[in-house]
């Protein structure tokens, strides 16, 4: 789990990628001369840009676009904003099928890999190389390729840790300065912060119910924390249905059904307006970067700490990169590449990170004093380092998420035993991986 | 657009039995639009259902594989069950509430128009707006419904968070939104019932319940039939409320056929499989509508 | 088709013939029941409007208050000032009015032909229209999108529909899928079937052609049905969400429903501003309804649906 490992691995992968790129990806060979030519002359024309930089990232996205328009007056930026990755995905799928894609988009990595799986995206190997070796965070970059050429460039990532409401912790007699370091301490914190009046839950000690993606992440974190992993090393088979998975799921289940640190389904809902944490009605949460802005806005005294390993002595995390990609059919390719270069410049990366509180893709920006001086942002930049170096970069990942989430939720709702739920999910995930 | 036609014909044939080719000029624009937006897409869907089209990767013909997969797909079976639950749960209560409202408002009394307008208002709300409002009504902690329950001394419920309650909660909202339509259609139907039938019944000493059950409801059966078909077609295709309010959850308890079709197509880019679902759904709606016709033979009289 | 006062007085006898206490009590109970249900029915509206005026701090009180402590007009300003709200309003209006107009024209023409004109294939065409009522529209989005994109000679397309973007990102493209609906044709056809033949006979004797009869004689009679079709079409387009989402890709073409959705999914969504927006969006449809309601209720639907 060290960054050194990540370096050597990405290096190995890159050479294989290069080879594959030459053989398989027509897009790459075609695009290289085009790119060179484009960057040589001063670029002008339209740039159609679609993004999901809404919500907590909205201000940062607006700034980025305004900065670009100012720096490149000859490029007419036409941007569209979508509420979330799934909405943007609807747009991109229809646009790609209708051959009317934008010139550039920012999207969640698994969707991007899916578009890339049919050669619908421009290869980005050269664009990434232009930033210099090791300029971009390897952990984030690892999600830009499913074994073939790089087909996207990370703009930012979100990492996961434990978030807690310092005021609630203090009120429960806990010390916000020494957050939980083991599962046992997590359990202790969760139980201490749970508040009920009669049967009515006033405050969940640990908010454990999220939508599919959130439930999936919750389980993944505890699975890793117990020493397991979601998929096998070759990414060809599920690996969660083992002792570590069982232990993790059992732990989560017991928190709900035995320790009753939350109610079944508590806080579940669409839109963050339903988020109990910002209503001061949850003590602990699985936190991502987006929680920073939302909590600050809601006036929460927000604390964050890394997810500890089961018995302590280390941490784990989960990375979720959001990447730029350029459709192969895009006409404004040169403009798109200008935008990527601009957005990944150190100054813009720092600005974007400070405004959105996301982990910047550029390593120099991660180290930047201003970023490091932002206490919460710096923590999440640190958490990113705890994510496993072996990443599940598969186009079918978005199909695995709901299957695993279903098993997790069925167990935590008390509808199924952890063992049976995981076994069922194992069968389904195996089928998805085989079909891929 | 004018279609000149022989004047003689209309005089000689009372019911205009001439072949009026000009009719096609009247029909052409609408039929062209229907062809472009329903028939052709329907055929394309049928075509897609025997392929593995993803629009991302090369497409190949897979024969009946998608349909065979559907037969053994437990999630699709669940979605079918959920859809039926929703359809039955919305259609009949909506008709009943609509009928009662129509009967209550089908007479002269001060404020009648106001009541009618109020009962019709929910029909006019946009689905997104209504869904957002109802999400906040169902919100377990700060929502209206639990607020009322607690004031009445009852336990608050996790409405949209519980696999058992989420579907009834969606159904309740749908009835709220749809019964106005049923009311208006029934009101119109009531006006066509000859008044002397009521007079005769009253002279025979029939009570109001008798009149409702023996005269009003049977006389409205053709209206009921029409309403039922419209509601079945509409509820079978429920999507928007689920998309906004539950995302098919919790535990898949509100995942309906159209929602699953949408997910298969857009979240997984498996357009071929989604097209097969669509075809099966169409056949189901057709089957149900035909069944409805058969179950109500007297209504056509 | 009769005036608003011709409702069947179910209790006509008891109303007029006696003034005993029973009927009065009965009508009091009747009123109370109606009032109760009316309250249930508009509770969500009051909740929506009430919430739209609440201050942020009031949103998460438990138990929640039904009415706001004070009127926060700022929420409405925030909603209106959400990006592109005015542009979205214009787009929504164009979409809704365009779709309504097209439906009125195309569906009444087709409905008239199916109801009153004799021509080969009439039964088959009518059966097909009824069958199309049952096609699940949601699943057709992708094919419809592809077709709209391939309309010949539009958006830089050649005669084969290739090379350009067709009607994507245009108002025409937005309106096309709802420009004529099986439901609208069905409704108008059912209405026209019920108009007595004599009207046409008389006009025909005066030497009027088919279109003249339709335009001068039949259409004016159809005003109530047109009102029904109009409000239903307006409402459907105004409230439509998925099609504008899929079709449009520039911010300039987005509609209010898309704006509302964007407003409520953001992680920092504020219920009060969302409700203010929902109120603003719902209002126009209610106003249109109130304007045309006497047609809708008292004449229109009736006629359309029986047969």
Strands in chain B per DSSP E: none
Contacts of A143 (CB under 8 A, 6+ apart): A109, A113, A152, A154, A319, A321, A323, A391, A393
Q: Does C271 touch chain A (CB under 8 A)?
A: yes
List pLDDT tens digits, range C269-297.
777 888 898 898 888 888 888 877 766 55
pLDDT higher than threshold 50 for residue A24: no
Neighbouring CB atoms inside 10 A of A190's CB total: 26
Contact (Cβ atoms closer than 8 angstroms) between residue A109 and residue A320: yes
The count of C-alpha atoms lying within 13 angstroms of the C-alpha of A402, restricted to the half-sphere facing its C-beta, is 17
- On whether residue A154 sits in a domain, the answer given is yes
- On whether residue A389 sits in a domain, the answer given is no
Residues in C closer than 8 angstroms to B44, CB to CB, are 143, 146-147
Q: Are residues A410 and A285 in the same domain?
A: yes
List pLDDT tens digits, range B16-73.
445 677 888 999 999 999 999 999 999 999 999 999 988 888 889 999 999 999 999 9
φ, ψ (nearest 5 deg) of residue C142: -65, -50
Dihedral (C-alpha) A101, A106, A108, A114: value to the nearest 10 degrees? 30
Phi-psi region of C103 (alpha: psi -120 to 50; beta: other; left: phi over 0): alpha
What is the Rg, in whole angstroms, of the alpha carbon atoms belonging to chain B? Answer: 24
Neighbouring CB atoms inside 10 A of C26's CB total: 12
Question: CA of C46: how far to CAs of B133, B147, C275, in Å?
Answer: 10, 15, 11
**If you ran DSSP here, which 8-state letter would residue A306 be given?**
P
Q: Are residues A191 and A221 in the same domain?
A: yes
Contact (Cβ atoms closer than 8 angstroms) between residue C1 and residue C299: yes
Q: Are residues A248 and A358 in the same domain?
A: no
- Interface touch C205/B11, C-beta < 8 Å: yes
Which strand (E) or helix (H) includes residue A315? strand A315-316
Q: Which two tokens stand for residue B17?
A: 């039995």
Contact (Cβ atoms closer than 8 angstroms) between residue A91 and residue C245: yes
pLDDT along chain B (301 residues), means of 10: 39 48 89 92 92 88 94 93 95 94 87 88 85 86 86 88 94 95 85 82 84 85 80 86 87 92 86 91 83 58 34
Q: Are residues A151 and A163 in the same domain?
A: no
List pLDDT tens digits, range A103-120.
999 999 999 999 998 888
Picking from A347, A364, A384, the residue at the C-terminal end of a domain is A384
Cβ burial, residue C232 (10 Å; 0-12/13-18/19+): buried
The residue in chain A having the minimum alpha-carbon distance to the alpha carbon of residue C246 is A91
Strands A153-165 and A282-288 come out as antiparallel
Q: Are residues A172 and A312 in the same domain?
A: yes
Distance from the Cα of C98 to chain B's closest Cα (Å) equals: 14
Greatest C-alpha distance within chain C: 80
Q: What is the ipTM of this complex?
A: 0.82
Picking from A345, A363, A384, the residue at the C-terminal end of a domain is A384
CA nearest A395: which of B53, B268, B69, B58?
A: B268
- On whether residue A299 sits in a domain, the answer given is yes
Return the pLDDT at C266.
Answer: 58
Return the pLDDT at A325.
Answer: 97
List pLDDT tens digits, range C66-94.
788 888 898 898 888 776 788 888 999 99
Of A56, A83, A98, the CB nearest to C268: A56
Q: Are residues A167 and A303 in the same domain?
A: yes
Reduced to 3 states (helix: H, G, I; strand: E, B; else coil), residue A241 is coil
Q: Are residues A272 and A362 in the same domain?
A: no
Contacts with B, A 112-131, CB within 8 Å: 114-115, 117-118, 120
Enumerate neighbours of B (3 or more CB pairs within 8 A).
Answer: A, C
pLDDT, average across residues A259-266: 93
Return the pLDDT at C140.
Answer: 79
DSSP string, A70-115: HH-TTEEEEEEE-SSHHHHHHHHHHHHHTT---SEEEEEHHHHHHH
Neighbouring CB atoms inside 10 A of C70's CB total: 9
- Going from the N-terminus, what domains does chain B have, and what CATH number goes with each? 79-300 (1.10.3720.10)
Contacts of A392 (CB under 8 A, 6+ apart): A230, A231, A235, A400
Q: Are residues A291 and A325 in the same domain?
A: no
Give the residue numbers spanning the domain of A86. Answer: 3-158+319-384
Q: Are residues A140 and A212 in the same domain?
A: no
CA nearest B252: which of A272, A252, A403, C139?
A: A403
pLDDT higher than threshold 70 for residue A420: yes
Q: Are residues A230 and A323 in the same domain?
A: no
Residues in B closer than 8 angstroms to A265, CB to CB, are 158, 161-162, 250
- Going from the N-terminus, what domains does chain C have, and what CATH number goes with each? 12-305 (1.10.3720.10)
Helix axes C21-52, B112-124, angle to 10 degrees: 30
Strands A195-197 and A200-206 come out as antiparallel
Contacts of A433 (CB under 8 A, 6+ apart): A231, A235, A236, A237, A238, A394, A396, A400
Return the pLDDT at B69.
Answer: 94
Return the pLDDT at C9.
Answer: 39
Which of A63-72, B88-97, C131-140 is predicted with the least confidence, judged by mean pLDDT? C131-140
- Interface touch B56/A115, C-beta < 8 Å: yes
- Interface touch C146/A54, C-beta < 8 Å: no
Measured CA to CA, the distance from residue B18 to residue B11 in angstroms comes to 11
Residues of A7-29 as b/e, b for ≥16 C-beta within 10 angstroms?
A: eeebeebbeebeeebeeebebbe
- On whether residue A19 sits in a domain, the answer given is yes
CA nearest B158: which of B174, B138, B144?
A: B138
Which strand (E) or helix (H) includes residue A154? strand A153-165
Q: Does B164 touch chain C (CB under 8 A)?
A: no
Q: How far apart are the first and last CA of chain C?
A: 15
Q: Are residues A43 and A175 in the same domain?
A: no
Q: Which two tokens stand for residue C4?
A: 């608003």
What is the residue-averaged pLDDT of chain A? 87
Measured CA to CA, the distance from residue B288 to residue B294 in angstroms comes to 10
pLDDT higher than threshold 70 for residue C4: no
Measured CA to CA, the distance from residue A60 to residue C135 in angstroms comes to 44
Measured CA to CA, the distance from residue A140 to residue A322 in angstroms comes to 8
Looking at the structure of chain A, the number of domains it has is 2
- On whether residue A63 sits in a domain, the answer given is yes
Reduced to 3 states (helix: H, G, I; strand: E, B; else coil), residue A364 is helix
- On whether residue A229 sits in a domain, the answer given is yes
Q: Does B225 touch chain C (CB under 8 A)?
A: no
Measured CA to CA, the distance from residue C103 to residue B110 in angstroms comes to 36
Q: Are residues A314 and A357 in the same domain?
A: no
| CATH code where residue A145 lies | 3.40.190.10
Q: Does B147 touch chain A (CB under 8 A)?
A: no
pLDDT, average across residues A273-299: 87
């Amino acid at each position: 789990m060290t960054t050194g490992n990540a370096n050597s691995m990405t290096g190995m992968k890159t050479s294989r990628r290069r080879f594959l790129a030459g053989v398989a990806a027509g897009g790459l060979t075609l695009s290289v001369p085009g790119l060179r030519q484009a960057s040589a002359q001063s670029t002008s024309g339209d740039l159609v840009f679609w993004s999901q930089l809404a919500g907590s990232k909205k201000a940062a996205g607006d700034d980025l676009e305004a900065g670009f328009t100012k720096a490149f007056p000859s490029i007419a930026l036409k941007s569209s904003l979508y509420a979330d990755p799934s909405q943007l995905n609807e747009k991109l799928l229809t646009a790609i099928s209708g051959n009317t894609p934008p010139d550039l988009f920012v999207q969640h990595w698994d969707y991007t890999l899916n578009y890339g799986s049919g050669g619908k995206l421009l290869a980005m190997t050269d664009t990434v190389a232009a930033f210099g070796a090791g300029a971009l965070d390897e952990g984030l970059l690892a999600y830009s390729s499913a074994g073939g050429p790089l087909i996207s460039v990370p703009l930012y990532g979100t990492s996961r840790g434990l978030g807690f409401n310092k005021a609630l912790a203090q009120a429960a007699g806990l010390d916000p300065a020494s957050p939980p370091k083991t599962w046992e301490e997590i359990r202790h914190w969760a139980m201490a912060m749970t508040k009920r009046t009669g049967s009515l839950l006033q405050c969940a000690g640990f908010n454990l119910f999220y939508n599919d993606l959130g439930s999936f992440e919750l389980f993944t974190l505890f699975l890793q924390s117990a020493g397991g992993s979601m998929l096998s090393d070759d990414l060809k088979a599920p690996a969660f249905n083992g002792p570590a998975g069982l232990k993790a799921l059992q732990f989560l289940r017991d928190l709900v059904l035995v320790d009753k640190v939350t109610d079944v389904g508590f806080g579940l809902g669409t839109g963050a307006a339903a988020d109990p944490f910002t209503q001061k009605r949850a003590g602990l949460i699985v936190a991502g970067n987006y929680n920073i802005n939302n909590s600050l806005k809601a006036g929460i005294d927000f604390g964050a700490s890394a997810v500890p390993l089961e018995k302590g002595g280390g941490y784990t995390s989960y990375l979720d990169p959001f990447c730029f990609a350029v459709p192969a059919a895009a006409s404004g390719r040169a403009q798109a590449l200008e935008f990527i270069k601009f957005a990944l410049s150190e100054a813009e990366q720092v600005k974007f990170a400070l405004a959105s509180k996301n982990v910047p893709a550029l390593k120099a920006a991660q180290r930047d004093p201003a970023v490091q001086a932002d206490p919460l942002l710096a923590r999440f930049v640190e958490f990113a380092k705890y994510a496993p170096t072996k990443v599940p970069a598969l186009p079918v990942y978005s199909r695995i998420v709901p299957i695993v989430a279903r098993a997790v939720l069925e167990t935590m709702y008390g509808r199924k035993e952890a063992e049976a739920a995981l076994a069922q999910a194992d069968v389904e995930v195996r089928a998805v991986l085989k079909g891929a | 657009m004018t279609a000149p036609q022989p004047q003689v014909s209309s005089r000689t044939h009372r019911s205009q039995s001439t072949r009026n080719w000009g009719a096609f000029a009247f029909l052409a624009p609408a039929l062209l639009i229907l062809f472009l937006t329903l028939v052709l897409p329907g055929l394309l869907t049928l075509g897609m259902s025997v392929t593995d089209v993803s629009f991302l990767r090369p497409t190949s013909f897979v024969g009946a594989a998608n349909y065979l997969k559907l037969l053994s797909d437990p999630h699709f079976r669940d979605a079918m069950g959920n859809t039926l639950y929703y359809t039955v749960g919305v259609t009949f209560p909506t008709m009943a509430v609509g009928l009662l409202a129509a009967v209550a408002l089908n007479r002269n009394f001060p404020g009648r128009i106001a009541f009618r307008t109020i009962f019709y208002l929910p029909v006019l709300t946009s689905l997104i707006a209504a869904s957002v409002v109802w999400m906040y009504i169902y919100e377990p902690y700060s929502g209206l419904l639990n607020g009322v329950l607690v004031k009445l001394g009852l336990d608050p419920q996790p409405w949209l968070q519980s696999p058992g309650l989420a579907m009834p909660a969606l159904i309740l909202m749908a009835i709220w939104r749809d019964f106005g339509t049923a009311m208006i259609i029934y009101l119109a139907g009531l006006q066509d019932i000859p008044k002397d039938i009521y007079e005769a019944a009253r002279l025979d000493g029939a009570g109001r319940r008798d009149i409702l059950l023996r005269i009003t409801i049977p006389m409205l059966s053709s209206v009921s039939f029409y309403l039922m078909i419209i509601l079945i077609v509409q509820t079978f295709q429920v999507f928007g409320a689920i998309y906004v309010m539950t995302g098919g959850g919790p535990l898949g308890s509100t995942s309906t056929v159209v929602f699953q079709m949408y997910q298969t197509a857009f979240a997984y880019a498996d357009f071929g499989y989604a097209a097969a679902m669509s075809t099966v759904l169409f056949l189901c709606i057709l089957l149900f509508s035909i069944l409805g016709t058969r179950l109500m033979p007297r209504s056509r009289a | 088709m009769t005036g608003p006062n011709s409702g069947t007085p179910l209790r006509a006898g008891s109303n007029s013939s006696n003034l005993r206490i029973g009927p009065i009590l009965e009508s009091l109970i009747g009123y109370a029941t109606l009032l109760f249900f009316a309250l249930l029915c508009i509770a969500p509206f009051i909740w929506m409007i009430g919430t739209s005026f609440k201050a942020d701090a009031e949103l998460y009180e438990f138990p929640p208050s039904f009415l706001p402590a004070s009127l926060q007009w700022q929420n409405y300003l925030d909603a209106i000032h959400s990006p592109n709200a005015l542009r979205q309003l214009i787009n929504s209006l164009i979409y809704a009015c365009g779709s309504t107009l097209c439906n009125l024209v195309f569906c009444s023409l087709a409905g008239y032909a199916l109801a009153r004109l004799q021509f080969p294939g009439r039964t088959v065409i009518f059966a097909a229209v009824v069958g199309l009522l049952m096609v699940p529209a949601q699943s057709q989005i992708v094919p419809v999108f592809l077709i709209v994109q391939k309309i010949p000679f539009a958006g830089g397309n050649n005669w084969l529909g290739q090379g350009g973007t067709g009607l994507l990102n245009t108002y025409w493209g937005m309106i096309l899928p709802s420009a004529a609906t099986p439901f609208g044709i069905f409704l108008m056809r059912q209405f026209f079937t019920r108009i007595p033949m004599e009207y046409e006979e008389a006009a025909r004797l005066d030497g009027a052609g088919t279109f003249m009869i339709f335009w001068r004689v039949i259409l004016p009679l159809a005003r109530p049905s047109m009102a029904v079709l109009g409000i239903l079409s307006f409402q459907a387009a105004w409230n439509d969400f998925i099609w504008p989402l899929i079709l449009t890709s520039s911010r300039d073409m987005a509609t209010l429903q898309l704006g509302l959705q964007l407003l409520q999914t953001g992680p920092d969504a504020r219920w009060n501003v969302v409700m203010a927006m929902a109120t603003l969006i719902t209002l126009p449809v209610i106003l249109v309804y109130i304007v045309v309601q006497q047609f809708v209720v008292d004449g229109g639907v009736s006629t359309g649906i029986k047969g």
